Amino acid sequence: MRKKLRNIIYKISPVLAITIILTVWQIMSGVGIVPKFMLPSPGDVVVAFFGDFPLLMSHAGTTLTEAFFGLSLGIVLGFLVAVVMDRFEIAYKAIYPVLIITQTVPTVAIAPLLVLWLGYGILPKITLIIITSFFPITIGLLDGFRSADKDALNLLKAMGANRMQRFFHIKLPSSMSHFFAGLRISVSYSIIGAVIAEWLGGFNGLGVYMTRVRKSYSYDKMFAVIFFISFISLLLMFGVTLLQKALMPWERETVKKSKQKK
């Protein structure tokens, strides 16, 4: 009974925390502790969201298209780089520091250069998304490849399996959980990267919408698009989790057995 109550508390605690924050926010804005032009109330944000819902969905379509292409190319690039780094030690020594350096450069510093070099179309957005999203994929896969069971690899080698067979039967399956962990991060990065690129140039997208409402001082709409972007990112991360469960059913059995033992 005590364990069941604890589980219920764990489940409702995030909802309770969010409810408290929204309530305090509504009171502060409604009473006038913080002026509404600086901090619109949650009610105003909801009204602004539904008032501009068709326009937001139109801009979201552009942002999601950019994120899809950029993330897809980022996954392919990350996979190829991880395979090369795992296969050749000299490539690992040469490429790994470069990967780290790419993550120390602020995204907002790269975006203006990409717009300058590639114009105001979709190409600079996709390029920025690739830069921001391929790193978690690469590192996740590389860690997965290197965590493969050495005994299983040696056994297949002793049985005459070539390098490609050992990769597909041992290394690739062992890297899947690491891959999905990186993918959950990358899907949120892809949305953020697209929005940042749209800030600096473009004709459609949530970043363009955000820039327009900011310039018109419509902060209720500004908060609405911020929460909308967060919701999209959370939804995509949840989708990755569902995909992982569908493609890796053996992990559910492992989790069930570990819970039963406890």
pLDDT score of 235 more than 90? yes
Lowest pLDDT segment from 73-87, 129-143, 206-220, 239-253: 239-253
pLDDT score of 256 more than 90? no
Sign of CA dihedral 242, 247, 249, 251: negative
65-85 b/e (C-beta count within 10 Å ≥ 16 → b): bbbebbbebbbebbbebbbeb
Domain boundaries, the chain: 52-250
pLDDT value of position 255: 52
How far apart CA 187 and CA 232 sit, in angstroms, is 10
pLDDT value of position 118: 83
Summarize pLDDT for 99-152 with one digit per residue, the tens: 888 888 888 788 888 888 887 788 888 999 998 889 999 999 999 998 888 899
pLDDT score of 7 more than 80? no
pLDDT value of position 13: 81
pLDDT value of position 202: 76
pLDDT value of position 258: 55
Give the predicted TM-score (pTM) of the model.
0.87
Summarize pLDDT for 157-193 with one digit per residue, the tens: 888 888 899 999 999 988 999 999 999 999 999 999 8
pLDDT score of 252 more than 70? no
CB-CB contact of 232 with 191 (8 Å): yes
pLDDT value of position 225: 94
81 three-class SS: helix
Domain 52-250: assigned CATH number: 1.10.3720.10
- Measure Cα distances from 203 to 3, 62, 192 in Å: 54, 10, 17
pLDDT score of 85 more than 80? yes
In Å, how far from its chain's centre is CA 134? 11
Cα torsion at 185, 166, 255, 246 (round to 10°)?
60
pLDDT value of position 254: 59
pLDDT value of position 216: 87
Amino acid identity for residue 110 in this structure: I
pLDDT value of position 157: 87
State the Rg of the chain over Cα: 23
pLDDT score of 251 more than 60? yes
pLDDT value of position 230: 93
CB-CB contact of 41 with 29 (8 Å): yes
